[in-house]
Structures are given as structure tokens and as C-alpha cells.
A and B are shown apart, each in its own frame.
Chain A
């Protein structure tokens, strides 16, 4: 059971470069999320997709864009990377509704120089 798969696991970028973080889930979940984890701050929601075809901003969306490509895939794009975006990024999915637990991928560790 793969669950939630994120690629890549590690990436180093230079300031101003762009890249896309990929996320795919095989649990037939409706909702998908992108969080970032910074030391001492827990995880914060960047964007989410409540269902296929919809996306909305979370708590810290500036500097990011997302695409819900289909029910399985939800990508996060950094158009012009900044050092402040150095973080660990987690993708999660759930069946939908706030009562349901979210299942997380292994994370992408991103460093921007």
C-alpha cells in the first residue's frame, strides 16, 4: 500500500528558480492538502483541494500555486523560490470532512540558497 507518495524527497534550489512538488494518493480520497513544516511552528496549511476540480488557499499561500490534476494527483509549484520557502513540505489526503484523519506522505525537504 503506497498511500500518499511525494516526489522528490530532497531538493536544493537557487533563489529565483522554479519547481513543482508532486503528490499522488491511491486511497481514492476526495480531499488533498499541502502543508509546510518549520521548526517550532508545527505544520501550516498552504493550499487544499476539497474535491477534484477545486482548490483554495490555506494559511500561508503566498509564493505558491497548486494544481489538482485529477482525483489522485495534487501538485505544488514554487514559481520563483525564495530562501523563506526553505522548509519540509507535506502532502496529505483524506476522504473529506473535518472528522476524517488526514494521511500524510513522507515529505519533501526543500532548501533554497
Chain B
């Protein structure tokens, strides 16, 4: 069965600290897709990044970086020099194919609540 585990329920850091959010996944598919979403206190879900299973390059976007390691089935998310505005719940998700590859069901982890204090 496909599964996503975010073992860190809550993390609290002080502004400017670096923080890494862990994500471990289970899948039997050889081709799969992983996503990170941010849910700020206002409640909406914001798409951050997608990673294909056949592309193991790490990615950096400003203060955000993602480390994908197929050998350990992990897709970790690091925020460098955290800011108060980074406070949110972060979800890692794995996409599972639906019928005839039309649409993809997202299997979400439980989420990690990040609190960045000034």
C-alpha cells in the first residue's frame, strides 16, 4: 500500500534558524510523483513543488530546498534562514494513479506544523 509518513508533528524554531521537514514514502510503483504543499494559518493549501521519481536532482528555490533520495524513500524539505511568515502546516504527498491515468489521487502525510518565533 502507498503511504506517506511525516514523523514530526510539530517543530518550533527561532527566526533565522534552518529547519528540515522530513517525509518518508512507501510505494510499489517504479514511476511516481511527490509533492509538497503549504497550509498557512489562513487555511488554504498552496502547491510548492513536484518531484518525479526518475529525477533525483535536488532543487533550490530561494530559501527553500528539497532533497530527494530514492535509496531511503525520502523527500525532505529544508527552509534556510526561517522567517515568521514560514509558520504553517506543511504536507508531503504521493500521487497514485487513478483509472486510465486520468487524474491522480494524492496520498497525504499527516502534516508538520512549523512555528517560527521572532
Contacts of A90 in B (CB 8 A): 45
Measured in the bound complex, the distance between the Cα atoms of B97 and A94 in whole Å is 13
Chain A 100-113 per-residue mask, 1 if CB under 8 angstroms from chain B, else 0: 11111111010000
A-B Cβ contacts below 8 A, count? 88
Whether A102 contacts B52 in the complex (CB less than 8 A), given A43-B106, A43-B108, comes out as no
Which of chain B's residues has its CB closest to A104's CB?
Answer: B45
The answer on a CB contact under 8 Å between B50 and A101 is yes
- Considering residues B35, B47, B97, which has the most beta carbons from chain A within 10 angstroms of its beta carbon? B47
Whether A94 contacts B43 in the complex (CB less than 8 A), given A42-B108, A99-B33, A99-B50, comes out as no
Whether A48 contacts B103 in the complex (CB less than 8 A), given A43-B91, A43-B108, comes out as yes
Contacts of B102 in A (CB 8 A): 30-31, 50-51, 54, 96-97
The answer on a CB contact under 8 Å between A107 and B44 is yes
Measured in the bound complex, the distance between the Cα atoms of B102 and A33 in whole Å is 12
The answer on a CB contact under 8 Å between A58 and B105 is yes
Measured in the bound complex, the distance between the Cα atoms of B108 and A59 in whole Å is 12
Chain B 1-35 per-residue mask, 1 if CB under 8 angstroms from chain A, else 0: 00010000100000000000000000000000101
* Contact-residue size bin, chain B (C-beta under 8 Å from the other chain): 20 to 34
The answer on a CB contact under 8 Å between A97 and B104 is yes
Whether A97 contacts B101 in the complex (CB less than 8 A), given A42-B108, A42-B109, A42-B110, comes out as yes
Contacts of A96 in B (CB 8 A): 102-103
The answer on a CB contact under 8 Å between A101 and B35 is yes
Measured in the bound complex, the distance between the Cα atoms of B91 and A90 in whole Å is 14
Q: Write 15 A-B pairs (CB below 8 A) sorted by A numbering.
A: A30-B102, A31-B103, A33-B106, A40-B9, A45-B105, A94-B103, A96-B102, A98-B95, A98-B96, A98-B101, A99-B33, A99-B52, A99-B104, A100-B104, A107-B45
A sample of 10 more A-B contacts (CB under 8 A), given A59-B105, A94-B103, A99-B50, is A30-B102, A31-B102, A43-B106, A50-B98, A51-B103, A88-B43, A98-B98, A98-B103, A99-B104, A104-B44
